[in-house]
Structure 1
Amino acid sequence: MNDHENTTSKGIFSATFAYFFWGVSALYWRLLGAVSAPELLAYRILLSLIVLLAILLLAGNLGSTIREAAVPRNALIYSLSGISIAVNWSAFIWGSIHGQVVETGLGYLIAPLLSVACGTIFLRERLTRAKSVAVLIMIAAVFLLIIRSAELNVWVYAAIALSFGCYSILRKLGPLGAVPGLAVETAVLAAAILIASSLGLISFSYPLTAPNGQVAILLACGVVSIIPLWLFSVANRALPLSTLGFFQYILPTTQFILAVTFYKQVLSTNTVASLVLIWVALGIVLIEAARTHRRRSSSLAGVAVPSEV
């Protein structure tokens, strides 16, 4: 297996587990329903930063990360991506706590279309015929979902879709690796939180009144937040946005399953039909990727044989 295939395989593995972990993490945030959403977001950011700084210190990469973050262009990119993920986290936490998981799933359903569009427009990634057909199918599926949006909280899926679409393109533009990039983003957000706390806009009173078990659950939010983001950042740097976008459908599908089984939200026939269309579109992309991989392997084998004669 050559370097390109190794990178692609790593990207596929990382994307698959990132989105699955992200999807099921709704159950974790549900356990922290006693914490207000702004306070929970603040804990999430600060504890994530502690985990990331520890990783950078152990790896000896803290100094180089600070130097890269000091470059004005990089500072701007990671400040914007940090804001994007903060908006995304806020909407996801609120939906998970308040039982609006169909909405959070719908937001992540729409986000890949923005990623594919951004990859094509800004990064000049070419859409193959198969991906073009898949995009058209997904547009139809998303349209079927949007026309029933009167039953849903529009702001939840709109915030998630826009913020994650922006986050994908910004992380693609940034030069830092997965962990350093995440560290810079959370450092920017942590600075904003500390300023807000000094002004009395955010309180950190929950651990003083919470049972011991709840405090332990809360303290784990840094790790729970970092694992999927780290895996996503690895996949984002290894795969084209137009390919990565389709793996994002693992997350909303997981969310829809949770909505039915754990949150007892009702899925209409329209929603189920849309999910079927989405999986058809994803199947088209995966079949094309498998065929491309086979053709590339055959070509390499054809070149290698004469060299041995």
Structure 2
Amino acid sequence: MLSDPAKGVVAMIAACMMWGLSSLYYKLLSDVPALDVLSHRMIWSLIFFGVVLAVQRRLTEVIRVLNTRRSFLRLALAALMIGANWGLFIWAIQIGQITQSSLGYYIFPLVAVVIGRVVFGEQLSNMQWLAVGLAAAAVALLTAGLGVLPWIALTLAVTFGIYGLLKKQLAAGPVVSVTAEALLLAPIAVTILLQTHHNGGTALGGDLKTFLLLMMSGPITAVPLILFSYAARRLNMTTVGLLQYLNPTLQFGCAVVIFAEPFGRWHGLAFGMIWAALALYSGAALRQDRARRRAARAAAVSGTVV
């Protein structure tokens, strides 16, 4: 039998593999407009999460979290952030910009560090500041080298960072809050699909195969989130953070190896700097985690002696 931490690691790896390889799935839907794919993702995610919560007899939690003004406003803003993030991610895959997408999710942890410093006044170590500086330099280098700002990567990182900030301020668990977000976005999703139908397109994908693929967007969205929630309860946040790098690494592998997206000298230099920044950041996080554990053990021993 696996221990709880070992089960957490397995669940986290499974979640990150599903996220990292999801570009293979969304590439199959390249003939469907990105907004339509996003709309289906919202609707089928809502249905899937609704069934899960109904089985768990927790549907009332969704109503409860939407019933207070402060939670409602935060959830509405979170819904806009995750909707923008998901939509841009799908569109980036369709236009052959998975490399930029992976860059965005590599940058995200460093964006989260900056948000923590600005919003919560969290103190950063010298190594963490150096990591943030290296990431900024990498973006500047890529912009100068290619002559265009990697705005897809930056937007993905910032929207997901703001989304994480809002989720941190919500008392509801991840499944309940994502269900509430999907519920808030569902009217927009239905409107988009009705507009597609009105303009002569098909809101259902055009054929049975495409429709079934669109339906699969529900479990493909929901299952890794449930696995992540399961893992987060059994692992410390440092381990969760390190394992999450598997997601953009798999995205990067799909982009360069499977879809043969361009990856030249400037990409190599920028990604090298990002990876170095993440190594510095992860090293600092591991040292902080070990220091906290030592302090906790010392406090426990001291309490026992007293």
Q: Where on the TM-score scale, by shorter chain, does this alignment land: which range?
A: 0.7 to 0.9
Pick which of 111-120 and 71-80 moved more: 111-120
**Residue equivalent to 1:105:** 102
SS of the equivalent of 1:148 reads helix
Q: Note if contact 1:108-1:248 (Cα within 8 Å) is conserved in structure 2.
A: no
**Residue equivalent to 1:161:** 157
Q: Spell out the pairing of 1:25-44 with structure 2 (5 A cutoff).
A: 25-44=22-41
Whether 1:205 and 2:202 are equivalent positions in the alignment is yes
Q: Spell out the pairing of 1:116-131 with structure 2 (5 A cutoff).
A: 116-131=113-128
- Give the Cα separation in 2 of the matches to 1:156 and 1:287: 28
Inter-CA distance 129–247: structure 2 relative to 1 (3 Å threshold):
farther
Q: Spell out the pairing of 1:1-309 with structure 2 (5 A cutoff).
A: 18-150=15-147, 154-197=150-193, 200=195, 205=202, 207=204, 209-210=206-207, 212-230=208-226, 249-302=245-298, 303-304=300-301, 307=304
SS of the equivalent of 1:209 reads coil
- Give the Cα separation in 2 of the matches to 1:119 and 1:235: 23
Q: Note if contact 1:38-1:202 (Cα within 8 Å) is conserved in structure 2.
A: no
**Residue equivalent to 1:3:** none
- Give the Cα separation in 2 of the matches to 1:206 and 1:195: 10
- Give the Cα separation in 2 of the matches to 1:246 and 1:298: 20
Pick which of 217-226 and 98-107 moved more: 98-107
Paired residues, what number?
A: 298
- Give the Cα separation in 2 of the matches to 1:149 and 1:243: 35
User: What's the offset of the Cα at 1:124?
Assistant: 2.2
Inter-CA distance 87–232: structure 2 relative to 1 (3 Å threshold):
farther
**Which residue identity lines up with residue 172 of structure 2 in the other structure?**
L
**Which residue identity lines up with residue 105 of structure 2 in the other structure?**
Y
Supply the RMSD in Å over aligned alpha carbons. Answer: 3.5
SS of the equivalent of 1:125 reads coil
**Which residue identity lines up with residue 174 of structure 1 in the other structure?**
L
Pick which of 281-290 and 166-175 moved more: 281-290
Inter-CA distance 245–167: structure 2 relative to 1 (3 Å threshold):
farther
Q: Note if contact 1:106-1:252 (Cα within 8 Å) is conserved in structure 2.
A: yes
Inter-CA distance 117–15: structure 2 relative to 1 (3 Å threshold):
farther
User: What's the offset of the Cα at 1:284?
Assistant: 2.4
- Give the Cα separation in 1 of the matches to 2:101 and 2:219: 21
Matched-pair identity in %: 30
**Which residue identity lines up with residue 85 of structure 2 in the other structure?**
N
Inter-CA distance 216–192: structure 2 relative to 1 (3 Å threshold):
closer
Q: Note if contact 2:197-2:203 (Cα within 8 Å) is conserved in structure 1.
A: no
Q: Any unmatched runs of 5+ in structure 1?
A: 1-5
- Give the Cα separation in 1 of the matches to 2:127 and 2:248: 22
- Give the Cα separation in 2 of the matches to 1:121 and 1:236: 25
- Give the Cα separation in 2 of the matches to 1:251 and 1:234: 17
